[in-house]
Structure 1
Amino acid sequence: MNPARRHGFTLIELLVVIAIIAVLIALLLPAVQAAREAARRMQCTNNLKQLGLGLMNYETVNGAFPPKSIQTGIGTAVPTTAFDWGTSARLLPFMEQGPLFNSINFSFKYLDVAESTVGSMSLNVLLCPSEPRREPILFRGYYYGVNSYAWCVGDWYVYGGMSGPPPRCGFATNLSRRLADILDGASQTVFASEVRTYQPQLRHCFGDGSGGTFPTLNNPASTLDLAASIALITSSSTFGQCQMIAEGHTRWVKGDSYHGGFTTVLPPNTRALGPQNLDLDLTSIDEDDGGPTYAAITSRSYHPSGVNALFGDGRVQFIKNTIHFQSWRSLGTIGGGEIVSSDGY
């Protein structure tokens, strides 16, 4: 036998080795992906904590939390002036964004050409690492930065016009809540949560909720179950024809419900619209078109099984999609007098 002759791997041996490597990759890949998601979720938690810290510093300096937006007008008519700068914009100096805040003239609308530089900025503290769509949106010739976090602006009713009552949440138009106003307790009240950018929604829907069955959704003691609530929200008699858009939470500077806010009428990540089971939000009419306004703007994320939420005491907690819908609504109110057990979420 020739001693120089060398034996290589047979085809079967190579196939076995390849199969073993494939099995190992199949076993390791989910673990790697889970580790990456855990890291993204941790960064997301840190972003919300940063927002909470900025919020508390704002309250310490100003004696109250920032408003959702500022509008002027009479009654429920269309506001004569809508200064739509939102809560996040007002927190900038307390999140190490002093120069950006100083460049804002709050006497002008965020849509003014002079303010376009501020709106175009993308801020890491407002973007969850798990969010796949982080690119700015082109709107009326200018780009605007998107946001993965929003403020609780109501549990269904969000705005009653210039003369209407305020919503039952922490952030309202023309109103700055004090810490003493959180009668349910800061640890029992959700202030902010995750949302998805470019969220599809139906808005400018007919009907303002001034009568009929709309107000029942505001009552945490209501006997309606989740399915009945969804049926009321999506019924054709309630909303009629609506405008379909896919730009929810694409302008972080703006304070209206579908850009800077969310509501707790539906649990996190609820897919609501009829047999299609679509992932849509709903707004009766825009706040800067008058009032009253009702909205189902659901907290959503790309994390498995739930969302991160910032509470009034500064802590961030992961809220599962399976939370009871009445518990979630109760956590959105500041003075509803509800009792929510800690094991309920």
Structure 2
Amino acid sequence: MQCTNNLKQIGLALHNYHDVNGRFPPGYFVGLDDSDPDDNPLRYCWFQTILPFVEQTALSDSVQTDIKAGRVPWEFAQRATVVNGFMCPSDPANPKVGSIRGFHGNYVVAHGGGQSLKARDNERNANGMFYVASRTRIADVIDGTSNVAMVGEIVLVPDDVDRRGAYYMIGWRTANATLALRDTPNSAAPDAGNFSALVDYLPHAPAVDSNEWLRMNARSYHPGGVLVGRADASVSFVGDTVDLTTWNRFGNRNDGQVLGEL
């Protein structure tokens, strides 16, 4: 399955980044002051950092040029570049390229189990592997790399305003590229955030508008479940009926609990 291979390659790229830098990339980058426009060029995510490791050196070079020039992500020259390895072939919304946010993808890294992110970038200590300014090392994955989710999939919607899966971010609303293992896969519980697709894309992508909490649940068009890449770069299919406690523990890197059967 192409989606499995895509997740595998992303997992390996994250590990290659770790090999070079001694840690995994931050889930997303933000400034310390949400109101300071000088922080805006920092507002990109893990996606841009691993481009050299997925045979996208030219795109990476363009992004780095924009960052060094102090441009904001929604003005990056190549933000509309589609990277096939970040799209699930089963999602009919692909390829999604927003007029402002550029390329959206189906694959996002896991920020924790049982958690939503607080709005305005103040969640800097989530229990998963990737969050604001995270510097997670393999040694920090106390529960073992085979027992912790690293990257999963979401579904996209053909709505230019909807932020889910946007790798190039705007303002302080930056939780567009991380996954919440909070509700079971393909849950009827809505994603939360500053979205526009409140009811139009049911049942695959329910959403509720929120300025306080941000989360994207694992979703796919694969029958019966979703694919998830583990922290050891292996990929597993997890069914929609997985036990919720087990699913929450799968997102937590260091709770010390026995994972159970997925």
CA pair 325-283 structure 1, distance change in 2 beyond 3 A:
farther
CA pair 261-199 structure 1, distance change in 2 beyond 3 A:
farther
Q: Which residue, out of 313, 327, 336, partners 2:246?
A: 327
Q: In the TM superposition, what is the alpha-carbon distance from 1:184 to its structure 2 partner?
A: 1.1
Alignment of 1:10-89 (within 5 A): 42-74=1-33, 78=35, 81-82=39-40, 83-89=42-48
Alignment of 1:196 with 2:155, yes or no, is: yes
TM-score between the two structures when normalised by the length of structure 1: 0.64
Q: In the TM superposition, what is the alpha-carbon distance from 1:45 to its structure 2 partner?
A: 0.3
**Equivalences, count:** 241
Alignment of 1:142-153 (within 5 A): 144-153=102-111
Q: In the TM superposition, what is the alpha-carbon distance from 1:257 to its structure 2 partner?
A: 5.9
CA pair 78-182 structure 1, distance change in 2 beyond 3 A:
farther
The aligned residue for residue 194 of structure 2 is none
Q: Which residue, out of 120, 125, 131, partners 2:80?
A: 120
**Cα distance in 1, alignment partners of residues 158 and 251 from structure 2:** 21
Q: Which amino acid aligns with 1:152?
A: A
Which secondary structure does the structure 2 equivalent of 1:259 belong to?
A: coil
**Cα distance in 2, alignment partners of residues 89 and 316 from structure 1:** 22
**Runs of 5+ in structure 2 lacking a partner?**
191-198
How big is the alpha-carbon RMSD for the aligned residues of Structure 1 and Structure 2?
A: 2.5
**Runs of 5+ in structure 1 lacking a partner?**
1-41, 201-244, 286-292
Quick check: 2:124–2:134 contact (8 Å CA) kept in 1? no
**Cα distance in 2, alignment partners of residues 308 and 190 from structure 1:** 10
Which secondary structure does the structure 2 equivalent of 1:58 belong to?
A: helix
The aligned residue for residue 143 of structure 2 is 184
Q: Which amino acid aligns with 2:90?
A: S
Quick check: 1:282–1:297 contact (8 Å CA) kept in 2? no
Q: Which amino acid aligns with 2:97?
A: I
Quick check: 1:199–1:280 contact (8 Å CA) kept in 2? no
Q: Which amino acid aligns with 1:109?
A: V
The aligned residue for residue 255 of structure 2 is 336
Which secondary structure does the structure 1 equivalent of 2:104 belong to?
A: coil
Alignment of 1:248 with 2:164, yes or no, is: yes
CA pair 260-165 structure 1, distance change in 2 beyond 3 A:
closer
CA pair 261-162 structure 1, distance change in 2 beyond 3 A:
closer
